[in-house]
C-alpha cells in the first residue's frame, strides 16, 4: 500500500455518502480518467495496519487479476497514517456513472422490458458466481451497489468491504438498510454465500416492480414482511440458534408471488421463489440460477 498515492487523484465531486463514509469522484492526474475514491479509517496496531485489513485488501487485489467483466475494478490502494492509532485506507475504483437504483428510476413507464431484466440479472449472477467461487461474500447487495455502465454492463461494487469496515468502523449513526437482508442475517444465525442470493432475489423482484419488495423498519418488522409473502417457516426449518423465537410471529401461508410481482413470467416467478427460499441450504446457488430456464425462455 503506497503512502501518499492519494495525491495522484484530484477530487471532482462528492458522489454519495454510505455507511462507510463519503465517496468521491476524482480524476487521475496522470491518465485523466475518472475514478471513485472510498476511504475508511482503520484502527492501527503496533505493526501498522491490522492483519485482517491487509488480508482483505490482498484478496480484493487477487480478484482484480481475473479482470471479470461484472466486477468493478480496484485500481489502487492508498494508506495514509493519520495518527498513531489510526490509518486512512483509500480504495480507488473505476468510476461508473450510475447505479441500478438510478437506472430503474430513469426507465420510462411501464419499466424495463423482460429481455432487459433477463440480461441485467444474468450479468449480476455472473459477477456473484465469480465472487462465490473465490469464497468472497458480498454481504451488502442492494441496487446502490450494482453499477450499470452506459452500455448496459453490470458491475458489482462494494463486495468484500463489509469485513474491512465492520471491524474498524469509526461508528457513524448511518442507518444501513434492512430491505435486502436475508432471514438468516436478520435472525443472527450462521450465514454463508446464500445470503447474497436472497438479496439478489429482492433486487430481481424490484426490477419488475420498480420499488423494493420488503420495506421493513426494524429486524422484526422486516421478518414479518417477508413471512407475509413466503409464509411462516415450519418449526423444523426454524434455525435452532436464531435469536428470535418462531412463536413471535403469527402463522401465515405463502401468497402467490405474482400478487407482488405481477409482470413477471412463469419461469421468472419460479426462479424468484428459489432465491427467496427461507432455508439457506435449499436456496438456489448463483451457478445453478444461471442454468435456470428463465434465461432461455
**C-alpha cell belonging to residue 214:** 420488503
Of 140, 196, 241, 259, the active-site residue reads: 140
Q: Which of 108, 192, 177, 94 is nearest to 143 (CA)?
A: 177
3-state secondary structure of 23: strand
- 104 in helix, strand or coil? helix
Closest CA to 11 of 92, 98, 102, 99: 92
- For this structure, is 221 an active site residue? no
CA angle (40, 174, 223) in 5-degree steps: 120
Residue 116 DSSP code: H
Omega before 244 within 30 of 0, i.e. cis: no
Residue the block writes with cell 468521491: 24
Residues marked active site are found at 140
Amino acid at each position: 500500500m503506497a503512502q501518499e498515492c492519494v495525491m495522484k487523484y484530484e477530487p471532482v465531486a462528492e458522489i454519495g455518502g454510505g455507511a462507510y463514509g463519503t465517496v468521491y469522484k476524482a480524476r487521475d492526474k496522470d491518465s485523466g480518467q475518472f475514478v471513485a475514491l472510498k476511504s475508511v479509517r482503520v484502527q492501527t496496531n503496533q505493526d501498522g495496519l491490522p492483519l485482517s485489513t491487509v488480508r482483505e485488501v490482498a484478496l480484493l487485489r487477487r480478484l482484480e487479476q481475473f479482470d471479470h467483466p461484472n466486477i468493478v475494478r480496484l485500481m489502487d490502494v492508498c494508506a495514509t497514517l493519520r495518527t498513531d492509532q489510526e490509518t486512512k485506507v483509500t480504495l480507488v475504483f473505476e468510476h461508473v456513472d450510475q447505479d441500478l437504483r438510478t437506472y430503474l428510476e430513469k426507465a420510462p413507464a411501464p419499466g424495463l422490458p423482460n429481455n432487459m431484466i433477463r440480461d441485467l440479472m444474468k450479468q449480476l449472477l455472473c459477477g456473484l458466481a465469480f465472487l462465490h467461487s473465490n469464497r468472497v461474500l458480498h454481504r451488502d447487495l442492494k441496487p446502490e451497489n450494482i453499477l450499470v455502465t452506459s452500455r448496459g454492463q453490470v458491475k458489482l461494487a462494494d463486495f468484500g468491504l463489509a469485513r474491512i469496515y465492520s471491524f474498524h468502523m469509526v461508528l457513524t449513526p448511518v442507518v444501513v438498510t434492512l430491505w435486502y437482508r436475508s432471514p438468516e442475517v436478520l435472525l443472527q444465525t450462521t450465514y454463508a454465500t446464500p445470503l447474497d442470493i436472497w438479496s439478489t432475489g429482492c433486487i430481481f423482484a424490484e426490477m419488475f416492480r420498480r420499488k423494493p419488495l420488503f420495506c421493513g423498519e426494524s429486524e422484526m418488522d422486516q421478518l414479518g414482511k417477508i413471512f407475509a409473502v413466503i409464509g411462516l417457516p415450519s418449526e423444523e426449518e426454524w434455525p435452532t440458534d436464531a435469536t428470535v423465537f418462531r412463536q413471535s410471529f403469527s402463522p401465515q401461508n405463502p401468497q402467490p408471488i405474482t400478487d407482488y410481482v405481477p409482470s413477471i413470467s412463469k419461469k421468472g416467478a419460479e426462479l424468484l421463489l428459489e432465491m427467496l427460499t427461507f432455508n439457506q441450504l435449499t436456496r438456489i446457488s448463483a451457478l445453478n440460477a444461471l442454468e435456470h430456464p428463465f434465461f432461455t425462455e
